Amino acid sequence: MDWLDQMILLINANAEFAPWFIFALLAISGFNLPIPEDVIIFSAASLGLEHAELVWPLFYGLFFGILCGDFICYGLGRYFGPKLAEVSWFSSMLSPQRIDKVDGFYRRYGSFALIVGRFIPFGVRNALLLAAGLGRMPVPRFLVADVIAVALSTGVYYTLYLTYGAQALRLIQDNQLVFLVAGGFILIFVVFIRRMKKD
């Protein structure tokens, strides 16, 4: 049993403090720690099914924890910049090719890249957040986009897990490519509409 499994057991055994544990776990994930956001959201939903009075406190723990983690990740990129690539903990994520690709994605799609990126796992989220910091996206613009992104992704996943439980988790894990393609189409559609309005 790894440390994350032990932490989830600790959270389940101390339900009244679970929102605070969840907040702390998700906040420190901003330092690029291997803490799977989806698993934490699923665990929170499972706990919410057992303790109805904690459904909203758990959601707040998730929401503000993810938001803090995102801001930490963004801040690392903004204030430490390319020097992070020299740290082994970040080097694989900050290869020049990957940063160029993500930066180009940002320049092309703006804040919508951040919103769609929240639905893409496998390290893409943190890469997008770091790139936003490296590209020195203005703090107010980042905060607005990230609040929208976190509210949407957390709200959708938490509600799905509360409603459908493990079945929803398996569906999401087995269809990551579908979610990625759907997100891409939504992004292209939004950009198309924006350009039409400009013309």
Provide DSSP, 48-87.
HHH-GGGHHHHHHHHHHHHHHHHHHHHHHHHHHGGGGGGS
Residue 13 vs residues 9, 143, 157: alpha-carbon distances, Å: 6, 34, 23
Residue 55, amino acid: V
Question: What token pair was written down for 37?
Answer: 């956001």
Q: Tell me what pLDDT residue 177 has.
A: 46
Count of beta carbons in the 10 Å neighbourhood of residue 128: 25
> Are 184 and 191 a contacting pair, CB within 8 Å?
no
CB 44 within 8 A of CB 8: no
State the total domains in the chain. Answer: 1
Structure tokens belonging to residue 189: 């559609």
Alpha helices in 81-175 (DSSP H): 88-91, 96-109, 111-117, 124-134, 139-164, 166-174
Q: What is the mean pLDDT of each run of 10 residues along the chain (199 residues)?
A: 71 86 92 84 87 92 95 88 68 66 69 75 72 83 90 88 69 53 54 54
- Are the beta carbons of 184 and 150 closer than 8 angstroms? no
Sign, CA dihedral 100-101-104-105, equals negative
Give the pLDDT of residue 169. 55
Q: Which domain holds residue 157?
A: 3-198
Q: Please tell me the distance from the alpha carbon of residue 142 to that of residue 131, in angstroms, as a whole number.
A: 11
Residues 114/128, Cβ–Cβ less than 8 Å: yes
